[in-house]
Chains A and B, each alone.
Chain A
């Protein structure tokens, strides 16, 4: 069963076509990665799938519901970890979770148990009652994951989940993403421009360039598709997009990434 399906999904901003006729299907339980350089349209895809941005044309279904006509229903089935650090630094980790448990309508009888389970899952039980402003970058990311799983979503969207993190903190986030998929059968849809991240987490990846999918398949298949099974995903990427990963990126994206990195310390 496909839990995410898009057909000719398109989004234009004025003259710019950010996403151009995207056709994707993601199976339930799959860890799916969307790769691409800055400006390839990855965040725009996530925003449309999470109902934040209406498509210009085409369709998308998440958990069986149309993202435009049944937006409220889609929201009940998904969790979302935005690219930016969006937990509240003034509040404690526990308070952040408590407020979102209420916003997600987690029944009162379940609330404390769910919050405790989520905190334990990401290893923040000890730090629950400290102000988030005093957390390390890795802890903030893990709190974001705890927050996004509180209401037991079927699909979890992560927009560049490890941007600005050091390698160790990155490993910890990857481990939690893997257990969400393996232990809870959650479908994971993530964007990244780290090849290593895609390689170690994803069942399948789609390489996006200029709003279109340039290549799609399991990492191994993509590597052999360019005739060199020993190639790295980086090389696959350069092959399909025609440029190196660190090229591109406009002012707004760079300053946003820097700001996120700055907040993560």
Chain B
């Protein structure tokens, strides 16, 4: 039965309300980002088919493009066989593709009202954006495993030292974070799936071809060299090339590579956390 009189009973919950929460501290902040990444991991565990479908592209690049260009010997790669040279590039490309299409997922979440519900939680907006960046890393890491497997099968000499593997894993996380946040920014601006599809293509291809992923920068024309040098993907590939394959080395130094990626992430996350709340308007 309904009663129209206001219930005078005290708020049972009030005393437990504000005091016991864990949202303010740095630990709380990280916990919220990690919670979003955990959500992604749980989703991936429920439906892992994407892991296989996403392997088709690297299979084509390494198995077809790589095999052919190894025979041609047209691209100067120093001591490294061409396939060994491009394997880290293909790894970086897989991570890039996963990350760039993250924007679609965010637009989907907006259409479903998930974005609204995330924004109504007390989580700082930066924690939400970082959580999304970390989620892209969660998807990218098992994908990196698939590319390793594929490269191994094709005879690429993989560097299996634990330190090198850990270094590549960190690079994958940084790359996924940087480009998924770029994608998030694009999603915040265009807001619809149809418009985003075009943007996704327009972002990935130039980033990929204006980088050192499948050919060294030294053979590029001057204007493209300049573009390649301001492209964060170049530094991601550079770090991966130094650590993923036997005999690979870094042109810019892994320290600089990490610094460029980190600086990119900081700048993009800063911008994205300003734009992300607009998705709920």
Which residues of A does B touch, CB under 8 Å? 27-30, 47, 50-53, 72, 75-80, 82-86, 88, 90-91, 95, 99-100, 102-107, 110, 131, 147, 151-152, 154, 178, 181-186, 200-201, 203, 218, 259
Contact = CB atoms under 8 A, between A and B. Distances in A.
Contact of A154 (B13, B42, B121, B281): B13
B112 to A, nearest CB: 5
A143 to B, nearest CB: 12
B13 A91 contact: no
B120 interface: yes
A201 B2 contact: yes
A105 B277 CA distance: 20
A181 B11 CA distance: 10
A237 B139 CA distance: 51
Contacts of A181: 7
Nearest to A96: B39
Contacts of A30: 6
A151 to B, nearest CB: 8
B120 A78 contact: yes
A149 to B, nearest CB: 9
Given A76-B21, A106-B22, A185-B13, 16 more contacts: A29-B9, A52-B277, A53-B280, A72-B122, A75-B121, A75-B122, A77-B17, A77-B18, A79-B120, A83-B113, A85-B112, A86-B112, A104-B23, A106-B21, A185-B7, A201-B2
A189 to B, nearest CB: 13
Given A52-B119, A80-B120, A103 B280 contact: no
A133 to B, nearest CB: 9
Given A86-B113, A185-B7, A107 B122 contact: no
Interface in B44-76: 46-47
B3 interface: yes
Given A52-B281, A76-B23, A154-B14, A84 B7 contact: no
Given A50-B120, A52-B280, A105 B22 contact: yes
Contact of B6 (A29, A80, A152, A200): A29
Interface of B: 2-4, 6-14, 16-18, 20-23, 28, 31-32, 34-36, 38-39, 42-43, 46-47, 111-114, 116-124, 277, 280-281
A90 B280 contact: no
A88 B114 contact: yes
A147 B118 CA distance: 12
A80 B280 CA distance: 13
Contact of A104 (B3, B13, B16, B121): B121
B14 A103 contact: no
A201 B4 CA distance: 9
9 contacts: A51-B120, A72-B124, A76-B17, A80-B120, A104-B23, A154-B13, A184-B11, A184-B13, A185-B13
A110 B22 CA distance: 12
Contacts of B38: 99, 102
Contact of B113 (A82, A104, A183, A203): A82
Nearest to A110: B20
Contact of A203 (B4, B10, B46): B4
Which of B7, B28, B277 counts the most A-chain CB atoms under 10 A from its CB?
B7
Contacts of A53: 280-281
Given A102-B31, A103-B32, A91 B46 contact: yes
A98 B22 CA distance: 15
A174 to B, nearest CB: 9
B122 A85 contact: no
A105 B18 CA distance: 10
Can you list the 5 inter-chain pairs with the closest CB atoms, starting with the nearest? A84-B113, A86-B113, A105-B23, A102-B35, A152-B13
B138 to A, nearest CB: 13
A102 B127 CA distance: 12
Contacts of A99: 35-36, 38-39, 42
Contacts of B14: 154
B17 A154 contact: yes
Contacts of A79: 120
Contacts of B28: 105
